[in-house]
Amino acid sequence: MRIIENHSLKSLNTFGIDVSARYFAEVETLNELQQVYDLFPIETTPHLLLGGGSNLLFTDHYEGLVIKINLKGIEVVEENESEVVVKAAAGEDWDQFVSFCVLHGWGGLENLSLIPGHVGSSPIQNIGAYGVELKDCFESLEAFEKDNGQVRYFSAQACQFGYRDSIFKREAKGKYVILSVNFRLRKKNHLLNLGYGAIQAELQQRGVLQPTIADVREVVCSIRQSKLPDPAVTGNAGSFFKNPVVEQSVFERLKAEYPGLVAFPDKGGMKLAAGWLIEQAGWKGFREGDAGVHPLQALVLVNYGKASGGEIAALSEKIKASVSKTFGVSLETEVNIV
């Protein structure tokens, strides 16, 4: 392990923002992680954990220590005739892990295909797509506690999962480094989630009448690739905003005024499609310098080349203000702004 000074982060964040870290370390073992925190105590040096760099926006150089988590490994820790518990290290690429599971016939994560990022950050955000959330297959995780250097285990209940939310975004924010995550997956009698119309339509178009988990993964990848820009080509972090959840009365008022409103039932009321709101407010395809809104998916903000993080953040604030003025609905960012 090496400590590098003034290290460029441009290739380590999917927005491609050209910033650097005052100090940078890449850790591959728990022992190396412990060494880093011994050398740079959290009381004296700001720390930022970096996985795939797919859910953050840098607005300036980072005047502290950036730790890239590169712990690797996938193993079966429990198995019976119908289920398997798979342990994945925090530094594993998320989509490659999903692919690994599908190839082995383990079902549950296929709807979460092609989501950028690493396994370690997936519980923090409780990532979700096409009717499935990480919590649906989550078994447990192990995490390094920064204050005392101990390894602690978290059950699903202890993680307090919510919509794009967990305890690690609230009272436990900044206190732990996730080391690995355990998932409980089905080996047979797969419970496919085909509730989203786009998945059903694509399966029908392909003539797939009895889909497998491999079919679902292939379809989800195809849908995402058709709608979302490739970060390797156009800098982005996927969905920039959360879908807002509103009370039933608010939904009914908006639906009466805007019959085309896209929404889905949610335990807290109705979940509105943020992309639809942004598009109706006139932002889809908008561009200001090299900061813009993707022309095919209004939920995605993009860097067309040399936009600064500050310019993209400023654009996001204009969009939030516009949606609030038009619909009376507040948008919350899904991307972490640093």
Which residue numbers are catalytic?
164, 239, 334
Check residue 90 and give left, alpha or beta (phi > 0: left; psi -120 to 50: alpha): alpha
Q: What is the DSSP letter of 333?
A: B
Identify the residue whose tokens are 């972090």: 237
Compute CA 31 distance to the chain's CA centroid, rounded to the nearest angstrom.
27
Q: Which of 196, 205, 199, 203 is nearest to 223 (CA)?
A: 199
Give yes or no for a contact between 91 and 274, defined as CB atoms under 8 angstroms apart.
Answer: no
Q: Provide φ and ψ at 115, rounded to 5°.
A: -75, 125
Q: How far is CA 224 from CA 182, 209, 277, in A?
A: 26, 21, 20
Return the SS3 of 312.
Answer: helix
Identify the residue whose tokens are 């975004």: 169
Tell me the C-alpha distance between 31 and 321, whole Å: 46
Give yes or no for a contact between 60 and 48, defined as CB atoms under 8 angstroms apart.
Answer: no
Q: What is the DSSP letter of 242?
A: P
